Structures are given as C-alpha cells and as structure tokens.
Amino acid sequence: MKRFASSRSAERVRKKKRSTSLAKPLPAAQLDALHDAGKDLSLHLDWSRARRPGREVQRVNVDFPLDLLKAIDQEAKRIGVTRQAFIKLRLADTLEGR
C-alpha cells in the first residue's frame, strides 16, 4: 500500500515536536530565577497542558423564548459581540453586583 507524502510529513512533524521538548523539567526555583531575570521560559513549558485554574469551561444548554433571543441578538449586534459573548457579559455583570 502506498503512503502519501502528507502522512510522511505529518510523521516528521510529530517526531520533531517530541525532540524539541526538554529532557527533564527545571525545578520551580530555577524557573523563578529565569522569570525574575526576564528570560524566555517558553522552552521550559509544555503549553499543551496549560490550564487557567478556576476558569475551566463546561458547556450548558439554555432554552430562550424567541422574543428574548431576538432582543439578545439585536443588543449583541449593537455592541459588536457574538450572542454567546453578550450572554456571558450580562451574566457576569449581574453576578458581580451581588
């Protein structure tokens, strides 16, 4: 069976990505020292596993009456954001005021 060039290229990319990572991570104290010195830490970090604690996302489904959805869409368009962004903004503003 013939292998396509794209699959060979993809394999090279996968191998190359693995080889660019450090053999062993730096201790936190050394990372802190590099950070304090203003050095680039990107070679020592695995960004694919980076997380923002407390900001995990969970998808939810919400049913809206059509007239409310139309009003949401109009206001979102007026301020130049997506429907989802508008709903998040309004909920965050409402809960922040508590």
The dihedral sign for the CA sequence 78, 81, 84, 86? negative
- Both 36 and 11 in a single domain? yes
- Both 93 and 73 in a single domain? yes
- Both 65 and 92 in a single domain? yes
| Whole-number Å distance between alpha carbons of 41 and 14 | 22
- Both 9 and 39 in a single domain? yes
Question: Whole-model pTM?
Answer: 0.49
Residues sharing a CB contact under 8 Å with residue 79, sequence separation 6 or more, in sequence order: 86
Domain extent at residue 2: 1-49
pLDDT tens for the 98 residues of the chain, in order? 555 555 565 565 555 555 455 546 788 899 899 999 999 888 888 888 888 888 888 899 999 999 999 999 999 999 999 999 999 999 999 998 77
